[in-house]
Amino acid sequence: MGYSGFRVIKEGLFGQKGWKPVWRDPEPKAHYDAVIIGGGGHGLATAFYLAKEHGLTNIAVLEKGYIGGGNVGRNTTIVRANYFLPGNSEFYSHSLKMWEGMEQELNYNVMHSQRGLINLFHSDGQRDAFARRGNAMINQGDDAILLDRDGVRAHLPYLDFDNGRFPIYGGLYHPRGGSARHDAVAWGYARGADQRGVDIIQNCEVTGIDIEGGVVKGVQTTRGAIKAKKVGIVVAGRSGQVAAMAGMRLPIESHVLQAFVSEGLKPVIDHVVSFGMGHFYISQSDKGGLVFGGDLDFYASYAARGNLPMKEHVMDAAMTLMPMIGKAKVLRSWGGIMDMTPDGSPIIDKTATEGLFIDCGWCYGGFKAVPASGFSFAHLMATGRHHDAAAKFRLDRFRTGVGLLDEEGTGSQHNLH
């Protein structure tokens, strides 16, 4: 069923009786050409592009919970292409271009809003670093404008520019950056994949990976054994656990990242804003809630909930940057499990087991990567060759040390990226 303005009017006139479930609820088959473990944004996008770009339709996505219940439905929805290092830069540039065509490609409203992202700087040294990043973005073909203090004030008059400790010097403005509705992205890809014949199987946890003679044969699940010629592991914060089922030890640590939303307010923040002197960033959702977040909780954990010290840190930074936020009430907070790599960049690669592929290590930046990750991972699974946009995301860089993509320059400590 296609969606259109005409359809909305027609359903409104005839009692909303014509809408159909967005995807089927099939029983798992005994055999598939490809199985994707994990029905998050990346897994669903992979299935969609395997079907759309490579004509593979005998595919299942196996999700242990429900679609949208993982990080794809827990993130703060920032979409941007402001990366610095070759490897990351072209990948996220490619991804943002895919975002710009996503709603047409999926015939689904994901509420992608290019409202502009401003990264603030608070010292001369930070200005230099952002100027350099902006130049890298422009060289990549993306947009970046270095704003001085008055330039920032014209966009964000509500900030505390003269904070005694962290006065605002300016900001790097990325007009094509913005946000989207997170779970709609999962639903849109799920619907698109389902329409092309992909079986989306919820409440189906993978408990084992079957390997014979170095070749993958299928998976064991809570709903029985499923044979598959190819298996893709796309389970974000659970990557280490699922890879261990295939005897792999990944260079990944799982850490909690929290986010917060305030009560609904009238429109007040019409950009995405990020503080340069503490981990705090904010935007306003279409429902009016101020959506904001901070840094990792710093300890490795599989518990999708956070701790109070990080809440305090985030509120502290928020009050420093925009004291007006003190009047808003926090409605709720939550946590997600982040698959942190030692260099803060992702992995899209084959494994030593024939037919077994892995897509992980998105740290806390994987929402914006959903379309390009799905596209590149599908390309790798279907053709056996890396897509140019993701050619540097190799697993062996952590063994050889060659090709590390340490965007933050913080060294090999997972929780600092």
Cα–Cα distance, 47 to 34 (Å, whole number): 9
Nearer to ligand FAD, 289 or 293 (CB): 293
Nearer to ligand FAD, 169 or 262 (CB): 262
Task: Name the residues that contact ligand FAD, by CB under 6 A.
Answer: 37-43, 62-65, 69-72, 74-78, 205-206, 234-238, 242, 257-259, 293, 336, 362, 364-368
Q: What share of the chain is helix, strand, coil (3-state, %, to 5)?
A: 30, 25, 40
CA nearest neighbour of 364 among 347, 343, 339: 339
Nearer to ligand FAD, 62 or 321 (CB): 62
Q: Least distance (Å) from ligand FAD to the CB of residue 170?
A: 23
Q: Least distance (Å) from ligand FAD to the CB of residue 72?
A: 3
Q: Least distance (Å) from ligand FAD to the CB of residue 272?
A: 8
Cα–Cα distance, 400 to 54 (Å, whole number): 32
Give DSSP secondary structure letters for 261-273: EEEE-SS---SEE
Q: Is 37 exposed, middle or buried (0-12, 13-18, 19+ CB in 10 A)?
A: buried
* Residue whose C-beta lies closest to ligand FAD: 40
Q: What is the dihedral of CA 378, 382, 383, 387, to 10 degrees?
A: 0
Q: Residue 381 half-sphere exposure, CB side, CA atoms within 13 Å? A: 35
Helix (H, G, I), strand (E, B) or coil at 357: strand
Q: What is the dihedral of CA 96, 341, 274, 175, to 10 degrees?
A: -10
Nearer to ligand FAD, 18 or 208 (CB): 208
Q: Least distance (Å) from ligand FAD to the CB of residue 285?
A: 12
CA 218 to chain centre: 27
Q: Least distance (Å) from ligand FAD to the CB of residue 36?
A: 9
Q: State phi, psi for 26 to the nearest 5 degrees.
A: -80, 160
Q: Least distance (Å) from ligand FAD to the CB of residue 321?
A: 17
Nearer to ligand FAD, 38 or 276 (CB): 38
Q: Least distance (Å) from ligand FAD to the CB of residue 412?
A: 20
Nearer to ligand FAD, 342 or 365 (CB): 365
Nearer to ligand FAD, 43 or 276 (CB): 43
